Structure 1
Amino acid sequence: MAIIRNEALHKQVAAAMRQSIASGEWPPGTQLPTETDLAETYGVSRPTVRLAVAALRTEGQLDVKQGRGTFVRATVHGPSSSLDRTITAQGDTFSTPVDAWFDHAEKPTVYRTRTDAVTAPLLEMDQEELMLGCDRLLADPTGNGRALHRLLLPMERIEATPLAQQPTATPAEAYAALAAAGRDLTWRERVSARVPQPDEREALQLSEAAVLLIAYRITCDQTTGLPLILEETRLGAETTALTYAIDAHKPKRAKVSR
């Protein structure tokens, strides 16, 4: 490798490695040579190679597999799975396209928790209010998508409903339990993104460069507007897309006085 003055060595090594990937010399799935071999190839030190590899990992071009080595990452051509957020209601029965994901979920974990700086505003409650929580790892039965789903039930608002005895209910079952208790329901949702934590990356099988999508769905009493359920769904943006059906709302016509 010809050394260019006034440019950091590790950036030059990273550029040379990037070219090896782009040219097909190192196709997807190829295990990189050892640090020692790369240092010899490029005529630099091992710490310089380490910095170059770290740069390509950050770009998402390389994956490190514990105990096995560093590999060229396969090209991702968009998410292979989609999580449709539509809710369908027939009387007091509800269904969602994601119901099948719950059929392929790991065993749910139920626990007691309290509202915090994130959940309290979404539920329009004070912090430290008691809730029941239920966590599941979901899997797309038709693709490679995985999602971490959390159902949070504020006790003071659901204790008089059948849902208080059903903390492991799926979302569709939870909506039905509230409808059976005489609640007319409406929903709102917001989506944010951040870097995944190590445990999230492992559970969702994400690369080191992956971005985590977080969808918060709040189920509300349509009459009072009071939030009754908070769902948090976390998924990798590189593997799974959130899809929405959007309907146009017609403004209400003002009544004409006669």
Structure 2
Amino acid sequence: MPDPKYRQIAADLHRRIKSEEWPAGTQLPPEPRLEEEYKASRNTIRDAVKWLTARGLVSTQPGRGTFVNEQIKPFITTLSADQETGLGGGEGVAFTREATLQLMAPVTTVPRVEIQQADDEKAQELGVEVGTSLVSRHQQRFIDDRPYSLQTSFYPMSLVERGGLQLIQAISIEPGTVAYLRETLGIKQVGYRDMIRVRPPNDTETNFFMLPDDGSVAVLETRRTAYDSDGKPFRLTVSVFPADRNRFTINVGEVPDEVVNPTQGTG
């Protein structure tokens, strides 16, 4: 059984976009011209364009027309922990390593450090009283000069009072806060729990990631709570990833140590 007319037209438009007959940023021909070219009704053309829009290939700008989107090479983040380092997606060292293995150029900004009071959610996740002082360390991440993720980590102020002074310094902690807290305070990360949700981006995220302001591109948020050898939480890391340029993998057991081709399965 042949595909519906709109799907046949959408497939041909997709082919023309992939062949760069219409490069990124190019405006598609207006509806009347497409109606004439494909001998189709206006509703059929609009259904074909909706099919392309739903797959992120084009975007319609009210009053201006429909334009071809730039096709972004996705970055693959491993959410599961590395057996040797205990690090997973959202960790600075792991981010840099994975981006480099995927032949991408990673950049992480110098942290913006603030002192905040724990709200109900953060207090519960870190096992502290509401209103407890927390250190927040916020960073932006770029790959090949494109914004790819936001990350904010929260630590109880008690860690600073015990000697973890670098937490309140606006510097990149090398080789990472996990190693720093282990060496400085003897806190060993033995595990972490990830809570993951998909949601619309807020205004700050829409602007930073340069997303469509209609909420058509969702973001994935991970909330990672790290635990020490006594089972006590000592760090909460909130990472935000736009769905149009990120893919995720979770490894269980013994799997080959290789980078998955990011174009596989994208259709």
Q: 1:94-173 alignment to 2 at 5 Å?
A: 96-99=93-96, 104-140=107-143, 146-163=148-165, 164-166=167-169, 168-170=171-173, 172-173=175-176
Q: Could you tell me how far 1:160 is from its partner in structure 2?
A: 0.7
CA contact (8 A) 2:147 2:208 kept: no
Paired AA for residue 186 in structure 2? G
Q: Deviations over 1:167-187 (max 9, x none)?
A: 644484211221131222223
Match of 1:220 in 2: 227
Paired AA for residue 56 in structure 2? G
Structure 1 counterpart of 2:27, from 3, 28, 31? 31
TM-score by length of 1: 0.64
Q: Which runs of 5+ in 2 are unaligned?
A: 1-5, 100-104, 255-267
The alignment yields a C-alpha RMSD, in angstroms, of 4.4
Q: Could you tell me how far 1:228 is from its partner in structure 2?
A: 0.9
Match of 2:236 in 1: 230
Q: Which runs of 5+ in 1 are unaligned?
A: 1-13, 249-258
Q: Is residue 195 from structure 1 mapped to residue 215 from structure 2 by the alignment?
A: no
- Find the aligned partners of 2:251 and 2:7 in 1 and give their Cα distance: 43
The change in CA–CA distance for 1:117 and 1:21 in structure 2 (over 3 A counts) is farther
Match of 1:182 in 2: 186
- Find the aligned partners of 1:176 and 1:189 in 2 and give their Cα distance: 18
Q: Is residue 211 from structure 1 mapped to residue 215 from structure 2 by the alignment?
A: no
Paired AA for residue 236 in structure 2? L
Paired AA for residue 83 in structure 1? T
Paired AA for residue 146 in structure 1? Y
Aligned residues: percent identity?
20
- Find the aligned partners of 1:43 and 1:111 in 2 and give their Cα distance: 57
Q: Is residue 80 from structure 1 mapped to residue 77 from structure 2 by the alignment?
A: no
- Find the aligned partners of 1:174 and 1:112 in 2 and give their Cα distance: 17
Once the two structures are overlaid, the 10-residue window that deviates more, 23-32 or 174-183, is: 23-32
- Find the aligned partners of 2:106 and 2:114 in 1 and give their Cα distance: 21
- Find the aligned partners of 1:231 and 1:172 in 2 and give their Cα distance: 17
- Find the aligned partners of 2:208 and 2:251 in 1 and give their Cα distance: 28
- Find the aligned partners of 2:23 and 2:129 in 1 and give their Cα distance: 50
Match of 2:56 in 1: 60
Paired AA for residue 237 in structure 2? E
- Find the aligned partners of 2:31 and 2:117 in 1 and give their Cα distance: 48
Q: Deviations over 1:132-191 (max 9, x none)?
A: 1121111235x9671111111121344213244446444842112211312222231322
Q: Could you tell me how far 1:195 is from its partner in structure 2?
A: 1.6
Match of 2:247 in 1: 241
